[in-house]
Every structure is written in C-alpha cells, then in structure tokens.
Structure 1
Amino acid sequence: MRALLFQTYERISASYWFLPSVMAPFAALLAFVLIQVDLRLPPDFYGHSAFLFAAQPDGARAVLSAIGGSMIGVAGTVFSVTMATVVFASGSYGPRLLTNFMNDRGNQVTLGVFVATFVYSMLVLRSVRDAAEGAALFVPNTAVFGAIILALGSIAVLIYFIHHVPSNIHISNVIAGIAHALLDEIGDRFPKDIGEGADDTLTQAHLPDGLNKGLDERTAGTVAILAARSGYAQVIDDVSLMKIAKERDIVIRLSCQPGSFVHPGLVLFTVWPARKVDDDLHDALLATVALGNARTPAQDILFLFDELVEIAGRALSPGVNDPFTAVTCIDWLSAAFSELAGRRTPGAFRMDDDGVPRIIVEPHGFAEYLDHAFGRLRQYAARDRIAGARFIEALTSVVGACGRRIDIESLRQQKAALLALAAEELPEPSFRPIAEAAERFDRAAAQAAARRL
C-alpha cells in the first residue's frame, strides 16, 4: 500500500491539474470569507476613499469582470506556452525528460494562480446586488479590493513565468537540474540502504544456497514470487519489505531494482523458508512493488545517469553536432562519480534491528555505475575530438576522489576502451589531443595508486 501511495504522490507531483485544483477551492473559500466580512461591515466603513470604495455596483462589476476575463485568457496562454515548452523539450532533449518539466513547480503554480484568481473574481461578482425589488444594495468592497490584490499578484507571477520558461529550457539548466538530483540521490543512497548493512562474508554462511548461489528453489527450500503483470518497477517499498520479513521471520532475496522491467513469469522475490509462504505473504510482497508504464527518477538512480547520457548522445549525433553540450554532461557526470567514489557501496545483505539477515539485494557498485554511464557514452565521445578529450579529463578528475585501487582500475579500463575506439574512429591529428589526455590520466592514476599503497 505504501508503494502505491508513493507512486500516486509522484504522479500527482508531475501533473498540471493538482495544484490548480487545490488553489481554486481555496480561492472560493477566500471569496466566501471576505463577502461575509463585507456583510457585517457598515456601508461607510471605508469612508470616502475612491480607491477602496466602489460607489456603485456597476463599477464593482466592471472591475471584477475585467479581472476574471483577463485571468482566464492569460491562463489559456500560459497553458499553451507550457505545452509548447514540453514539446520542444521532448524533441530536443529526449522524451524521457518530460517528467522533469512536468514536475516543475513554477509552471504548476503559475497556472494555479490564474485559475484561482478567475474563480475568486466570478464568485465575488455574483454577490454584487443593485437596489431593486426591495433588496438592499450590496457592494463587497473588501472582496473587490481582494480581487485587485490577486490581480496584481497574478501580474507578478506572469512576469516570473516569462522569465522562468526560457530559463527552464536552457540546456545548461536542464543538465544541472538532472545532475543535482543525481547528486542528492547518491548522498541519500550511499552508504545507507535497506535496513542495516552487514558483512557479506559472515552473513552468507547462514543463508540457504538457493538464495546466495541461485540453485534450484525446490532443493534449497525456497519459493519464487513471480510478477503478476507487466511494467517498470517505479517504487519498491523497502520499509514494508523489511517489516514483512521480520514479522514472518523469513529471508527475502530481491531480484529487481527500481527501473527494472518486469512481466508475468519473472521472479521478483525469492523467499526462504518455503513453508512460511502463503497467499497473504504472496500478495503482501507483490504490494511492495508499484509498477508503471515508464521509468521515473524517484528511486531509479540509473534513470538519472541515462538522462545525462541521452542528452550527450543526442548532442554528439551528426544531425546536431554540439560537442559542448556533451562536455557539460560529462562535467556533471565527473562530479557525480567524484561524489560516488568517496562513499562505501552497501553490502548485499540487509539486517533488521536485531541483527538478523532479512533481505538480500543486488547493489550496484562504483564499477557498475561507471560502465553504465561512461561505458554507454563512450561510443559517442570516441567520434569527437572535443568530447573524447573531455571524456578522459573527466576520468582524470575522478581519480583523485577514489579511495580504492579497484575504483582506479575501473577508471583505467574506461580510459583504455575509449582510447582504442577513438584510434579507430578519428584521424591522427584529431586523435592526438585524446592521446595526450590519456597520458595525463596515466600519470594521475599512478600517483593516486602510489598514495594508497
């Protein structure tokens, strides 16, 4: 249930309807409150001020009609501009970046402010009465003044929106936004993960072979929990998973990661011992994984790497030929791996509060992430002199942050692979800067390795 709630929250956060739907009722409530205030104030409360006092109902109607009509017109324009921005981003940067623009609070708040001002103005307009058929004349002066304040605020929001849209689609800001989300995710995930980490060598000896060696579930006394439908794993509820494992006194092996595509027949969990698996446990485990039609950045750190790689790959395509955008992506990737290199990779075994192994995961380490990002970008960077040289310079900048020789070796493998591919793709004059960058990498790697002896 928690996984479904979190997935619903993420979907609402990426929608354009939620904030306007929330702000409109609040505007209606504000209109009702201010009208009630005006009903209780004496007619001469504001004196003879021309600014606060609408002497005639026609004047109040004119003001409210002008504000309401202009707000709904501007709201339509804002929506059109927002949709044009989303289409431009999808075509220029890649369709997977649509989620980033849909999550933008600036666009959502702007649309909500104009809708709320329109709703407020219409409700206040309805309360204005002429002195006819025995009814007393009523002009809600306070509420009309509130509409003017909201209109001025809407103008300020419009000015912000005009600045926000071009700033939001600037490629440097797009890349920086993805990179900051990636850095935050690295900070949150490493070394903390599901439960408390454990020493793999000590814990593995206490687990059945089917869980840590992949043997036949029947001989190991384990049961495989299969996916019931198809989709991408958008949310995995680690808290509920640990709670289930502790309450049922079982060990669970998690066979999927956020962002993995699953389908009926694919193993999601392997549970030991088999005798404790029943229909309730089966359903409870499946409920900890929320599936969707697309990957999202909520828990999927690889998705953030993929977005940067996609932007860089598109920039280096022959139709675009923009190596400096690719260099910006490579720069931020180097920042991410410098942060990742200084952190401990969580172990595969997760412990509960009592120190009992409950969950087995398949964590990715520095080498896996490096190959996922730089490995996929290598084929594009090897064909461009500027991007290729910056590729190796980025690896060199990460060397200094590495605290383990194995991480330095992973960087050296990526350097060698790019160097070999660039030697095939580029003529000698274009290849020379990449070779010189590789020599600088070798010197930096040798010095870093010597410091860690």
Structure 2
Amino acid sequence: MKAHLLRIADRLRESYWFVPTIMAIGALLLALTMVYIDSHSGSHWMDRFPWLYAARPEGARSLLSSVGGAMIGVAGTTFSVTMAAVVYASGQYGPRLLSNFMSDRGNQVTLGTFIATFIYSLMVVRTIRSPGETVGEVGFVPQLAVLVGVILVLCSIAVLIFFIHHVPSRIHINSVIERIGDRLLAEIDNRFPVFVGRPLDESADDDRIPDAFRLDASPAAIERRGPVRAKDNGYIQLIDEETLLDTARANDLILRLQYQPGDFTHRGSVLVEAWPAEALDEDATAALRTAFAIGSRRTALQDLRFLIDELVEIAARALSPGVNDPFTANSCLDWLGAALADLARRDLPSRLRADEDGVLRIIAHPMTFAGFVERGFGALAQYASADKIAGQHFLAALGDVALSCEAPERIATLVLQAKQFRDLAERALSGASREAVLTRADELLRALAEPDYKRRLRDGNAWLGGTA
C-alpha cells in the first residue's frame, strides 16, 4: 500500500492540474471569507485610511470583471507557452525528460495563480449589488474583498514577470542537466550504503542462503521456492522495503528479488521467490505483491539507472551527426563523473539483507560499481570515441572518478573502461584527432597502473582538468 501511495504522490507532483486545483479551491474559500467579513463588518474601517477610497458598485463590478477576463486570457496564454516549451524540450533532449518539465513547480504555481485570481474575481463580483436592484435592499460592495482582488492582480503581474524569466531559464540545456545531476547525487546520498534492511557480509554469511537459491540447487530444493507473480504489465517504479521485511519476518520467509526498480515486468512474471514455499500463504503473497508499484513508465523514485540514462540520452543526442554539440556532452560527462566519484567513496550494500535480529530475510540484486560505470561511461563510449573534444573529456572524467577510488577492484573497472574506450577511439578517429585522444588515454592508463596513481593524476591536472 505504501508503494502505491508514493507512486500516486509522484504522479500528483508531475501533474499540471493538482497545484492549480488546490489554489483554485483556496481562492474560492478566500472569496467567501472576504465577502462574509465585509457583510458583517461593513466598510467603515476604510475611513481610518485616507489613501483608501470606497468603490461604488458599478466601478467595483467593472474592475473585477476586467480582472477576471484578463486573468483567464493570460492563463490560456501561459498554458500555451508551457506546452510549447514542453514539446520543444521533449524533442530536443528526449521524451523521457518530459516528466522533469511537468513537475516544474514554477509553471504549476504560475498557472494556478492566474486561475485562482479569475475564480476569486468571479465569486466576488456576483455579490456586488447596486441600490434598487432588489426591492427593499440597499447596495452592497465588499470593499475588503475588492481590495484583496487588487492585491491578487499585483501578485499575478509579479508571477507573470517571473514566468517570462522562468521558462527560458528552465529549458536551457545546462539547467536541465544540472537538475538531473543534482537529483542523481541526492539519490545516491539517500540510497547508500543502506538499501533494503541491514547489510550482511556476503563472504561470511553465504552459508545462510538456502540451498534452493544456490546455483547448484537440486530439483527437490527448487521445488521449495514459492513464486509471487505480477498481475500487471509495466515498469517497476517503487519497491516497499518495509513491507518486504515485515512480511518475510512475520512468515519466517527468505525472499529473493527477481527485479529491481526500473525493470519491466509483465503479467505472470515472478517478482519474488520465497523460501520455504509452504510458509507462503495467500495473505503473504498478496502483501508481497503490494510491495511493488508498477506503472507505464520509469521514474526516479528508486531508479538511479533512470537518472543516469537521462544524462546518457542527452549526451548521445548531442553527439549525433545531426546535432554535433560535444560541449553539451561534456556537461553530461561532468555530472556523470561527479555522481560516480561520489559513489566511489561509498560502500555499496551487500545483496544479503537481514532483519533487526540479524536473520537473513532478503536476497536483493543491487548494481555494483562496475555496473554503474558501464551504465554511464560504457553507454557513452561509442558516441564520445568518435569525437575529439568529447573523447578527451571522457578520459578526463574517468580520471576524476579515479581520484575518489580506494578499492583496487574499482580502479580495475576504470582501467578496463579506459582500455575499451581507447580501442573504440582508435577505430573511430583518424589523423591528429586520433593521436590526441590515444595519447591522453595512454597517459591515463599509465597513471592508473602505478600505486601512487592519485598523485600522478593530481600532478597531471593540466590535462585532466581545464578542458571544458
């Protein structure tokens, strides 16, 4: 249930209707409140302020009518401009970036402000009465409500000025990349080192894995696996860790996750395997199934690979022959390097997860450091290797990640990536461009082969840095 609630909250955050609706309801309540205050207190309070003048019925009605008409027109124009910006960004940077613009709070508040001002004016203007309109009743002008309407108009003008500046600044490519990179770094900080449960030492606790989940499992042991199958088609957007742990502990189960956030699943595919199968009753199966939120598209709720893929997509499009913009690709490489450098300083969680009592409950499948490097740099290598500017920056970013690495196996991952990139560049480039990229690759490989590679990389900062 928690997973589905979080998915609904994410959908509301990315919708254009939720914030304007809340603001419209607020405007409606504000109008009713102001009119109520005016009807009970009158407008005598305005006599204490010589710079305030009580409006007459015709003037107040004309003012609010003009405000309402203008606001709905500006709201329509704002919506059109927003849609044009969204279509442009989707075409230029990739359709998967559409949700980034849909969730922009500035656009939502701007649209909501104009709609709220329109609704407020509409609700207040209907309460204005001229003398003689109704037999036996005097005229009524909600002076305080009209004054608040004028204040809302001034706020709307300020929001319009903000919106004119906001739209071009948000679709600027560096701003788009920065938002993705910032969220990637924030998700890394939130997710690691803890992912699901308490990590165990894999080498020391490998004997805790049931025989049914081992590679050499016998047919009899495999029969004791209880599958939990999906009922929907789509991408796994969220996995509720607490539900998995609580259900496994309550039923004395050990679970093996078959998917991770971002993977596509279809009806009938096995989401989780539980051991022993005889302890997996219908209630436990239903609880485990509700721990997975499945939707039509990938999201960044728990999927770090999705954010990496967004940066890779922007860089790949920038390096395509039709665009040929290596400097945009360099910006993506900078943020990928920053994210992987941050990741290199962290202990990635074990695939074995225990409950509070130290009992193995979940066998997960988190990505390794090598997996993240391959997802980012590996996916971009074929594009950057064909361009001198992007190729040199690619190697610089690898060197920057190496400065944050301590574990030999992570350095080996970067060495392998540099060698593979060198081979690609050797085949894709020619002439002076080929010589420049291969020379830089050889310098990086020589530095990484030495025990004091960090000193060598820092001493070689003239070629590792300053290449933007």
Same fold, TM-score > 0.5, yes or no:
yes
1:42-68 deviation line (CA, Å, top 9, x unaligned): 443212867533341001011111111
Letter in 2 for 1:387: A
Three-state SS of the structure 2 residue aligned to 1:234 is strand
Letter in 1 for 2:434: F
Matches within 5 A, 1:32-431: 32-47=32-47, 52-132=52-132, 133-213=135-215, 215=217, 218-220=220-222, 221-431=224-434
Letter in 2 for 1:13: R
Equivalent-residue separation in structure 2 for 1:124 and 1:192 (angstroms): 54
Q: For residues 284 and 48 of structure 1, do their structure 2 counterparts lie closer, same or farther at Cα, with a shift above 3 Å needed?
A: closer
1:169-216 deviation line (CA, Å, top 9, x unaligned): 000000010000100111111101111111112322022122243746
Three-state SS of the structure 2 residue aligned to 1:228 is coil
> 2:17 — aligned with what?
17
Three-state SS of the structure 1 residue aligned to 2:153 is helix
How far 1:440 sits from its partner (Å)? Answer: 2.8
* Matched-pair contact (CA < 8 Å) for 2:418–2:445: no
Equivalent-residue separation in structure 2 for 1:69 and 1:448 (angstroms): 72
How far 1:114 sits from its partner (Å)? Answer: 0.8
Equivalent-residue separation in structure 2 for 1:448 and 1:145 (angstroms): 73
Root-mean-square deviation (CA, aligned residues, Å) is: 1.6
Alignment: residue pair count: 452
1:271-295 deviation line (CA, Å, top 9, x unaligned): 0111111222111111110111111
* Matched-pair contact (CA < 8 Å) for 1:3–1:287: yes
Three-state SS of the structure 2 residue aligned to 1:318 is coil
Q: Please report the TM-score for the alignment, with normalisation by the length of structure 1.
A: 0.97
Three-state SS of the structure 2 residue aligned to 1:390 is helix
Q: Identify the range of structure 1 (32-41 vs 89-98) with the bigger mean alpha-carbon deviation.
A: 32-41
Q: For residues 48 and 225 of structure 1, do their structure 2 counterparts lie closer, same or farther at Cα, with a shift above 3 Å needed?
A: closer
Letter in 2 for 1:61: R
Q: Identify the range of structure 1 (218-227 vs 142-151) with the bigger mean alpha-carbon deviation.
A: 218-227
How far 1:374 sits from its partner (Å)? Answer: 0.7
Equivalent-residue separation in structure 1 for 2:313 and 2:48 (angstroms): 64
Q: Identify the range of structure 1 (198-207 vs 394-403) with the bigger mean alpha-carbon deviation.
A: 198-207
* Matched-pair contact (CA < 8 Å) for 1:341–1:401: yes
* Matched-pair contact (CA < 8 Å) for 2:229–2:270: yes
> 2:458 — aligned with what?
none
Equivalent-residue separation in structure 1 for 2:60 and 2:89 (angstroms): 43
1:236-261 deviation line (CA, Å, top 9, x unaligned): 11111111111111111111010000
Letter in 2 for 1:204: D
Q: For residues 270 and 425 of structure 1, do their structure 2 counterparts lie closer, same or farther at Cα, with a shift above 3 Å needed?
A: same
* Matched-pair contact (CA < 8 Å) for 2:55–2:143: no
* Matched-pair contact (CA < 8 Å) for 2:385–2:391: yes
* Matched-pair contact (CA < 8 Å) for 2:46–2:53: yes
Letter in 2 for 1:172: N
How far 1:365 sits from its partner (Å)? Answer: 1.2
